[in-house]
Amino acid sequence: MERIDILGCGSICIHEIFPGIVLNYEEFKCKELSIFANEQILPQISGEMIEIGYCHEGRIQCEFEGGVCVYMGSGDLYAGLMGKYPPVNTFPMAEYKGISIYIYIDELSKCLPEILKGSLIDIKTFQKRLFSSEKHFAKVGNCINWVGGKIERIFLDLFSLPDLPEAAIESYLKIKVLELILLLNETCANENEAKNKYYLKAQTEIVKNVHDELIKNLSNNLTLKQLAEKYNISQSGLSSCFKAIYGKSIAKYIKEYRIEYAASLLRKTDETVMNISATVGYENQSKFAAAFKEAIGVNPTEYRKGDMTTFEN
């Protein structure tokens, strides 16, 4: 196992499962990885390489040919061919925890693990099953929402490793990756359809600008209609794309952000509850206190007086 720490961004742990199969544990706390960071963590491409990615926590933006974007959240699985799309390096929530599995087609073709030989004719056949429509795949890749079921159980097992010696852990990882490949080989033949909605990058940039305005001006209570008119985007397009990027409706996202920001101000400043209430967009202090208590479990005054770490997520 090799660990790479990326200054100011996060870390990645690399496991060579078999010759031709690499598993990466990835954890980032940033909105975007630099080109230099990507060069540190991405495997060197030699021939065709399949990337299988699973999002455990946070959200991630995948960008494909022609400026088409798709967003993954917890439980989403992505499969693509390296070199067909830009490096995946954008995290709208400034946090991400996931797994990437890289399969080197040429290398694995020469030395397919013995246990797979009875189930896979060859790795090329697996590739065709995974990417049933070559035309569709070459343009935008496949992003498949597989929340729950046997496939996700494998990834959840990989995120809660048993308490075993390091050598035994490496064997456990081998078993789990083989199980994943076998299940994907059988499942993808019938279910390999892109289920996530794709958005043009120009549209996502507009929505990110809307997001930035909302969190910078929490005291402004702009309606969906006002925002759509201001940014020249349809209300349905704004609503749909915002939820895709940030995982929640605009109303829910901003409500939660206001409370989180208010809690931060209560912890870090001496501002009055009344001023904090106004800062985060509540004209009525009692409504703010009720919303705060509903979210945190205590009212703002109790939160400030108590052991505040008890209430932090």
The pLDDT assigned to 137 comes to 41
pLDDT band at 132 (very low <50, low <70, confident <90, very high): low
Q: Residue 180 has which token pair? A: 């994943």
Q: Is the dihedral of CA 65, 69, 142, 132 positive or negative?
A: negative
Report which secondary-structure segment, H or E, holds 95.
Answer: none
The pLDDT assigned to 111 comes to 80
Q: Do domains 2-191 and 200-310 have the same CATH topology?
A: no
Amino acid (one-letter) located at 223: T
The pLDDT assigned to 128 comes to 76
Q: Calculate mean pLDDT across residues 20-38.
A: 84
- The domain limits of the chain are 2-191, 200-310
Report which secondary-structure segment, H or E, holds 112.
Answer: none
The pLDDT assigned to 228 comes to 96
Q: Is the pLDDT of residue 282 over 70?
A: yes
pLDDT digits (tens, 9 = 90+) for 206-257: 999 999 999 999 988 889 999 999 999 999 999 999 999 999 999 999 999 9
Right CATH number for 2-191 from 2.40.10.10, 3.60.40.10, 3.40.50.300, 2.60.120.10?
Answer: 2.60.120.10
The mean pLDDT of the chain is 83
By residue count, the chain amounts to 313
DSSP designation for 241 = H
pLDDT band at 140 (very low <50, low <70, confident <90, very high): very low
Amino acid (one-letter) located at 53: G
pTM: 0.81
Q: Calculate mean pLDDT across residues 86-90.
A: 75
Right CATH number for 200-310 from 3.40.190.170, 3.90.79.10, 3.40.50.620, 1.10.10.60?
Answer: 1.10.10.60
| Rounded Cα distance, 198 and 176, in Å | 30
Q: Calculate mean pLDDT across residues 135-161.
A: 67
